[in-house]
């Protein structure tokens, strides 16, 4: 999904696995099927308060027919009027899902938190945690904006994996965590390039170093290393630039970013021992350079 971020404006986070709406619907499918055809079609105006069973079935019927606002109304009415009903727990969960489908993520999270607080050992707890994490994930902002939401999404997704590592939601949660990490790395690169353009080389170096140190598995590392070569040269830190070039040559010898770094180092007569075709220094160069630079 995340190709290397170039100097052009980064795009908002879009996952090829997103939003796993079919996965989010799995537990609800059983709940919907359990109701059979007992729900009658109702008017979309606010109805009179019926029995808990009637409200529940009406909410299910509305959810099946994509009338999500009506579904929320029915489940909410059930909870307010029948807080101890056998249908209340499912109504809480399904109201959270209906709000999710309406893109009302704060409302969905509030409902799911209520469900998890009251029913922590429920067989649907894994699904509730996953759906809650999706609500945060869907709110991840463009890299040009504050990324607190991305951090919250990662925390919620990691909770799914920690609590339910064998659940069908854990793998999808891990994929989304990887995308969030790539997103955060993209933010660091965006800020680093800005500082570099403003000739604030120490600040730029700090951002690029964070990408290399904290986001080593993302696609942004080769560019971060090349940018570090540039800013080290601009700062007159020639040995740092040479060692960073060694790291880049060892790990990404076929990268366009290595080619750019090679040209910069050659122009400063620092090319000895950096050429990607000459690995005489091998792994020892990589290990020494990595730890001495970072």
Q: Give 217-247 as a 3 state SS string.
A: CCCCHHHHHHHHHHHHHHCCCHHHHHHHHHH
| Structural tokens at position 153 | 């999404």
Task: State the helix-helix crossing angle for 201-214 and 170-197, rounded to 10 degrees.
Answer: 160
Task: Tell whether 227 is covered by a domain.
Answer: yes
- Residue 224's domain comprises 219-293
State pLDDT tens for residues 228-252.
999 999 999 999 999 999 999 999 9
| Structural tokens at position 114 | 């209520």
Count of structural domains within the chain:
1
Task: Tell whether 212 is covered by a domain.
Answer: no
Confidence of residue 141 (pLDDT cuts 50, 70, 90): confident
Give dist(CA 170, CA 159) in Å, integer: 9
Map tokens 């607080």 to a residue: 117
Residue 24 has pLDDT above 80, yes or no: no
Nearest Cα neighbor of 226 from 201, 258, 249 is 258
Nearest Cα neighbor of 231 from 277, 256, 286, 194 is 194
Task: State the helix-helix crossing angle for 88-101 and 21-34, rounded to 10 degrees.
Answer: 140
Nearest Cα neighbor of 233 from 244, 241, 225 is 241
Q: How many CA atoms lie within 13 A of 174 on its CB side?
A: 10
Which runs of consecutive H residues, i.e. helices, occur in the chain? 21-34, 52-64, 68-81, 88-101, 105-118, 125-137, 148-163, 170-197, 201-214, 221-234, 238-251, 256-267, 282-293
Task: Tell whether 285 is covered by a domain.
Answer: yes
Give dist(CA 227, CA 155) in Å, integer: 30
- Sort residue 14 into left (φ over 0), alpha (ψ -120 to 50) or beta: beta
State pLDDT tens for residues 167-220.
999 999 999 999 999 999 999 999 999 999 999 999 999 999 999 999 999 999
DSSP-derived secondary structure for 88-142:
HHHHHHHHHHHHHHTT-HHHHHHHHHHHHHH-TT-TTHHHHHHHHHHHHHTTPPP
Q: How far is CA 206 from CA 129, 199, 225, in A?
A: 35, 13, 12
Residues 6+ apart with CB under 8 A from 200: none
Confidence of residue 269 (pLDDT cuts 50, 70, 90): confident
Q: How far is CA 149 from CA 133, 138, 140, 154, 211, in A?
A: 11, 9, 5, 9, 19
Task: Tell whether 104 is covered by a domain.
Answer: no
Task: Tell whether 79 is covered by a domain.
Answer: no
Nearest Cα neighbor of 221 from 190, 185, 259 is 185
State pLDDT tens for residues 91-131.
999 999 999 999 999 999 999 999 999 999 999 999 999 99
245, 248, 249, 253 alpha-carbon torsion, rounded to 10°: -140
Task: Tell whether 238 is covered by a domain.
Answer: yes
Task: Tell whether 50 is covered by a domain.
Answer: no
| Structural tokens at position 293 | 């630079």
Confidence of residue 12 (pLDDT cuts 50, 70, 90): very low
Task: Tell whether 107 is covered by a domain.
Answer: no
30 or 74: whose pLDDT is higher?
Answer: 74
Q: Of the given ranges (14-18, 225-229, 260-264, 290-294), which has the lowest mean pLDDT? A: 14-18
pLDDT at 271: 77
pLDDT at 50: 80
Q: What is the pTM of this model?
A: 0.72
Q: Of the given ranges (39-53, 59-73, 210-224, 243-257), which has the lowest mean pLDDT? A: 39-53
């Amino acid at each position: 999904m995340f190709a290397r971020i170039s100097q052009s404006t980064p795009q908002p986070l879009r996952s090829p696995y997103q939003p796993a709406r079919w996965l989010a619907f799995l537990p609800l499918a059983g709940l919907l099927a359990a109701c059979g055809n007992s729900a009658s079609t109702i008017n979309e105006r606010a109805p009179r308060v019926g029995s808990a069973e009637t409200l529940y079935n009406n909410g299910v019927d509305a959810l099946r027919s994509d009338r999500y606002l009506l579904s929320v109304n029915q489940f909410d009415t059930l909870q307010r009027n029948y807080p101890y009903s056998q249908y209340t727990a499912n109504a809480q969960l399904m109201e959270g899902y209906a709000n999710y489908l309406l893109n009302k993520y704060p409302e969905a999270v509030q409902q799911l938190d209520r469900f998890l607080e009251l029913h922590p050992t429920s067989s649907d707890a894994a699904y509730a945690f996953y759906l809650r994490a999706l609500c945060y994930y869907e709110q991840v902002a463009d890299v040009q904006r504050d990324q607190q939401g991305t951090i919250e999404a990662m925390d919620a997704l990691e909770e799914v994996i920690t609590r339910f590592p064998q659940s069908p939601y854990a793998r999808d949660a891990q994929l989304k965590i990887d995308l969030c990490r790539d997103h955060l790395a993209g933010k660091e690169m965006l800020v680093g390039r800005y500082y570099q353009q403003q000739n604030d080389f120490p600040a730029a170096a700090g951002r690029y170093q964070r990408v290399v140190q904290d986001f080593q598995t993302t696609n942004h590392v080769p560019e971060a290393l090349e940018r570090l070569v540039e800013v080290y040269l601009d700062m007159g830190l020639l040995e740092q630039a040479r060692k960073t070039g060694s790291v880049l040559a060892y790990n990404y010898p076929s990268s366009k970013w290595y080619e750019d770094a090679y040209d910069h180092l050659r122009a400063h007569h620092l090319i000895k021992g950096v050429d990607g075709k000459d690995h005489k220094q091998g792994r020892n160069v990589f290990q020494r350079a990595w730890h001495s630079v970072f």
